Structure formats: C-alpha cells, structure tokens
Amino acid sequence: MQTSILIIVFAPLLAAIVAGLGNRKLGNVPAKVITTGALFIACGFSWPIFLQFLGGDVPATVVPVLKWVQSGTMTFDWVLRVDTLTAIMLVVVTSVSALVHLYSWGYMSDDPDQPRFFAYLSLFTFAMLMLVTANNLVQMFFGWEGVGLASYLLIGFWFKKPSAGAAAIKAFVVNRVGDLGFMLGIFGTFLVFQTTSIPEILDAAPGMAGSTITFLGMRWDTMTILCLLLFVGAMGKSAQLGLHTWLPDAMEGPTPVSALIHAATMVTAGVFMVCRLSPMFEAAPAALTVVTIVGGATCFFAATIGTTQWDIKRVIAYSTCSQLGYMFFAAGVGAYGAAMFHLFTHAFFKALLFLGAGSVINAMHHEQDMRYYGGLRKQIPITFYAMLAGTLAITGVGIVGVAGFAGFYSKDAILEAAFASGTSAGNAAFWLGTVAALLTSFYSWRLLFLTFWGKPRWIESEHIQHTVHKTPEQAGEDTTGGYHPHESPIPMLIPLCVLSVGAVLAGAVFTHSFIEDESFWNGAIAFNEHLIHSMHEVPMWVKMSASIAMVIGFVVAWYGYIRKPSMPAAAAQQLGPIYRFIYRKWMFDELYDYVFVKPAFWLGRLFWKAGDEGTINRFGPDGAAWLVMRGSGLAARVQSGYLTSYALVMLLGLVAAITWVLF
C-alpha cells in the first residue's frame, strides 16, 4: 500500500512538471498523454485502497517522505497518511480528475496552450492529494494553498481576458482571508497542544474541554476559539456565506476546471477539514453551532441566487455553494459521515452537471446564457440524458424506503440528522435545508427546461449570430438561425457517461458504509452512534419533507418554464426590489467593494502621499536638506553629489573618535 500511495500522490506532480516545463516544445499530444496517463494510473491505484477500506477495520497507513521543518519544539515533516477519510477523498479526487483530464482532450482541443492547461490540472491534483493525505496541519496548509495556486492559475488560464485576471486575484485574495484564520488556528493549536500532528491533536482534544485561553484580549474557551479560527479557513476554501464571493467569478476559468476544482474537489476541502478534525470540533460545541448556522444560511442563501441567474455556469456555481452548506451543517450537527457522503455523491453529480454544461456550451458556440438556449434535447441527446441524470441526483429523486438517485440518500440523511440532533441550530438548519431543497429542485429543473425544452431561442445569442452571419431580423421566423448544434466528441462523452453511472448508483451502493458503518470509518471521524439511532426514529413527515420539497420545486419550474413561460417575468416584476436584491447576489460584491477594496486603495494613497511624502519626508530628510540649504555655503555642498567626500569625512571622523577613546 505504501508504494501505491506514493505513486498516487507523486505521479500527477511528475506529470505536471514534465508537461509544464516541456510546454510547447513537448507538443500537445505528449503532454496530454503524460498528464492524463498519470491521473488514470493514480485513479487505478486509488480504487483498490478504497475498496479495501470498504471491507471495514483497516488501520491508517503512514508513509514518511522527507523531513520538513524542525524549530525548537515545533516539528513537521512531509508525511502521507491514508485512513478511511483519506481513501474516500483519494477516489473522489483521482476519479474526477482523471475524467476531467480526458474530457479536456475534447473541450480544449482548439486551445493553443494545451500543455500548460494539462500541467495546471495535474499540479492541482497533486496539491489536492497532499491536502487530503496530510498528517499534520502544516502539510494540510501546503495542500490548501497549493490548490489555491492551481485555482488561481486555472481561473486566469485565459489571461488575455481582463475579467479572468480579476477573477483569479479575487479567488486568491478572498481565500487568503480564510487562510488568515487557518494560520492563526494552527498557531493557537501549536501553542496549546505543542504539536501540529493531527492524530496527536485529536487524541488530546477531548482532554482540553473546559480549558481557557486569551485571544485578542478576550477570554475564550480554548477549543471554541481554535475551531472557529480553523473554520474561517474552511469557509474561505468552501465558499461559505461571507467568503463566497470568489466562487461565482471563478467560472471565468474553462468549464472542466469548474467541474474539477470549483465543484467536486477543492471547494470541498473545508468540509474535509472539519471532518478530519471532527474530534476537535466535538470538543467545541459552540463552534459546531456556528458551523451549523453558517452551513444552513449558506445553503439557503446560495439557492435563492441560483433561482435567478441566467448564466448556466453561475447557476451551477451557486448550486455548489448551496450544497456545500448542506455538508457543513451536517458536520455541525455531528453527522460527519453524512457530510462526507454528500461530499462523495456531490462530487459525481456536480462534476457531471458542470461537464454537461460544458458540453452544452461547446454545442452552442460558447454561449453561456440560458435565455438563448431552448429545445436542445433532440440535438445533443447524450448530453441531455447525462444532465438529466445529474438533475435527478442533485434534486434527490427517490422513494423513501425503496431506492433513489445519489443525492436522495445523502441529502435526506443530512436533513434527518439535522432534525434528529434536537438542537435549535440543528432545527433551524433542517428548515433552511428543506426550503433550499425546494429551491434546488426549482433552479435545477429551470436550468434543464430552459436548455433542453421549449422553442430554440438561439438566434438571440451574439455568439450564434456571429457564427451564422445573421441578425434576428434576417432570421425571421426561424429562431434557430439555421444553426446546428453538434453533440460533443467521444472524449467528452465518456466522462459524462461514467459520471452518470456514479450519479445514479453512488448513493444506493455506499449509503450503508458511509452513514451507519462504524467499522468502515474506524476512528477516522468522530462517529456519533447516538445520532445515527435518532436519525432512524425521526417522524415520517421529516423523512418525506425533502421529497415533498423536491416535488413542489419541480412543479413550479414546470409551470413557469413549460406550461406558462410568461410567469417568471411577471413574478420578477411583482417581487420588484426583492428580485433585484437576489438577482444582484444579495449585493455582496458591491458591499465589499465599498467597505474593503476602495478604502484599501484610499488608505494606501493616504499613507503614501500624506504619510511618507507629506510627513516623514517633509519633516525628515527633505526638511533637513532645506535647513542645510538655508545654512552655510559649506553645507550646501552636501547637495553636490561628491559622495566620496562624505565617505572620506566619515572615515576620518571614525579614526579620530577611536583615537580619542583609546589613546
């Protein structure tokens, strides 16, 4: 197992280095073969490890790689550690990554910079694998920032577009706000535990209950403040309410990137972190309440925005944000198994939805606005069925007690756990989650109906007009403009089919292990047996609530976008300011610009012009110069520029001073 772990983690790194340094000299095909090959190898080694863990009671494997830092009592090394939690992430990361690599053969086939793209993808995978195999908090932080770098590079991949550059910076800087919390959390953890090793911290965490510490002049419960600081990091990476603003903008990156990084893997790192440190969070009930509330609020808030957006990728991006909220409040109520299960199923169906969207965008000549889609069902049938599978999975279609698609199992488990936890935060999260389930169903079906049903509205799109060389007037009655969307090439369809299987089956196959099997987890997360029991005992209406919400959402979407298409505009008109508030994403960007960005530049100019130049220089060196200039003619020579004379004077002075003291 040790060798396979090393191969899994370092094969993508080697591939990234070769493809990245070779770049255009290497050529497109070799770069693609090397990176994609490395990922399929990594994927091939990951599944046997996961299946082994699925058997139950497998202890963690630790592979030391290299010494990293030793400073006084602080030591941390490069070590790979694989337990159940990591094994799950290994299959998620390597499978989705391998499929996205393959998909990109088709999607990026016209791009002149393919080796660079594939090198970034593989680099990302390496960093993500370092994150999930971390045995200490600092290596986790390495992976954390490494995926941030890859995300920055890939969002900015089409760097000629100014919007891509801006989105890349925004992603990095907003994540750094979270990282500020993460870093302080690590410092505090080290101060308290005298180690950064995760297993040692988790062992000692329960003993810290009741201890107190001062942070920023306030007295805190130790575990509460540490967990809250670490959770700020998780909020940044997983785009939770307040630190979410970078995720929708990150859609500037190529669509395969959105599928891999901004849906299936990187953004789930925060959830992974909370689960990885679950014994720590269990010792901090107050922090868990915060996690629950933030998760619940995010899942609701992002879903509302998802219902109003027109850009197909943005809808899915807000959907991701919302689904991450589910995972967090699951963790917040102590159902770490359910959180990880939703992470697992979500990785498949959300990657599927993004890749499907990419296939639609590809067919529609880079048009991303759903207002210009319509009637694509027959033109691109495989994409349609794949996205249908994804939609059935995300909305959680299924029959209680019988069977269902992937999301049915994981989302229902989360809602049941929230209700069963019995806390008021859990209860609030349950209701928020149920409403969000309704909204999820609405925006997902809205997306599907707008794209695949109805009459084609293609000629309204500038991209299509550009292609067919017609204006809507010239096209007249024929709203297709004579444009023929084509189904995507095989390399793009294979990942869609594979992920569809995942979206359909992942729930049913793995639900027992993830939710109920303590021996599967084998201590990798804090397993709350009591909660599992109460989950079974929730009232029937609780079990049904998600399905009911799903049906209502579907019916409303069907009525508004198929039955009576004039309804949405009328509703938007009716709601007026509320609609605009939601449509403009709750005004977060405007608010942050006003509160943080503009003042930062203003302060910078103030400190520069009024501070450095207006005060320090004026009364310091320039003031002195002025005095000197006004003084004797001898001093005026200071301005002459004969620097050697200063040096001479200084040395003479020095010799004189020494002579005076010593003799």
Q: Is 151 in the site for other proteins (CB under 8 A)?
A: no
Q: Helices 540-558 & 381-395, crossing angle to 10 degrees? A: 140
**Residue 266: partners with Cβ closer than 8 Å, 6 or more residues away:** 124, 128, 147, 150, 151, 237, 260
Selected from 106, 156, 248, 306, the binder of other proteins by CB under 8 A is 156
Name which of 206 and 482 has its Cβ closer to other proteins.
Answer: 206
Q: Is 173 in the site for other proteins (CB under 8 A)?
A: yes
Q: Which stretch binds other proteins (CB under 8 A): 172-180, 305-313, 402-410, 422-430?
A: 172-180
Selected from 30, 165, 285, 565, the binder of other proteins by CB under 8 A is 165
Q: Is 594 in the site for other proteins (CB under 8 A)?
A: no
Q: Which secondary-structure segment (H or E) carries 74? A: strand 74-82
Q: Is 662 in the site for other proteins (CB under 8 A)?
A: yes
Q: Is 592 in the site for other proteins (CB under 8 A)?
A: no
Helix (H, G, I), strand (E, B) or coil at 114: helix
Q: Is 610 in the site for other proteins (CB under 8 A)?
A: no
Q: Is 183 in the site for other proteins (CB under 8 A)?
A: yes
Shortest Cβ 70–other proteins spacing (Å): 7
Q: Which stretch binds other proteins (CB under 8 A): 40-48, 88-96, 170-178, 455-463?
A: 170-178
* 8 Å CB contact between 348 and 406: yes
Q: Is 624 in the site for other proteins (CB under 8 A)?
A: yes
Q: Is 157 in the site for other proteins (CB under 8 A)?
A: no
Helix (H, G, I), strand (E, B) or coil at 583: helix
Q: How many CA atoms lie within 13 A of 190 on its CB side?
A: 15
Report the distance separating Cα 321 and Cα 335, nearest Å. 19
76 DSSP β-pair partners: 69
Q: Is 600 in the site for other proteins (CB under 8 A)?
A: yes
Report the distance separating Cα 55 and Cα 520, nearest Å. 7
Shortest Cβ 498–other proteins spacing (Å): 32
Report the distance separating Cα 319 and Cα 302, nearest Å. 7
Name which of 127 and 525 has its Cβ closer to other proteins.
Answer: 127
Q: Is 548 in the site for other proteins (CB under 8 A)?
A: no
Q: Is 214 in the site for other proteins (CB under 8 A)?
A: yes
Helix (H, G, I), strand (E, B) or coil at 72: coil
Shortest Cβ 3–other proteins spacing (Å): 21
Least Cα distance to 506 among 88, 46, 133 occurs for: 88
Q: Is 164 in the site for other proteins (CB under 8 A)?
A: yes
Write out the binding residues for other proteins, residues 219-238 only, by CB under 8 A.
222
DSSP 483-523: ----PPPHHHHHHHHHHHHHHHHHHHHHHIIIII-HHHHTT
Take residue 407 and report the two structure tokens written for it.
């999301």
Selected from 3, 59, 210, 541, the binder of other proteins by CB under 8 A is 210
Report the distance separating Cα 638 and Cα 649, nearest Å. 12
Shortest Cβ 77–other proteins spacing (Å): 10
Name which of 559 and 596 has its Cβ closer to other proteins.
Answer: 596
Q: How many residues bind other proteins (CB under 8 A)?
A: 87
Q: Is 162 in the site for other proteins (CB under 8 A)?
A: yes
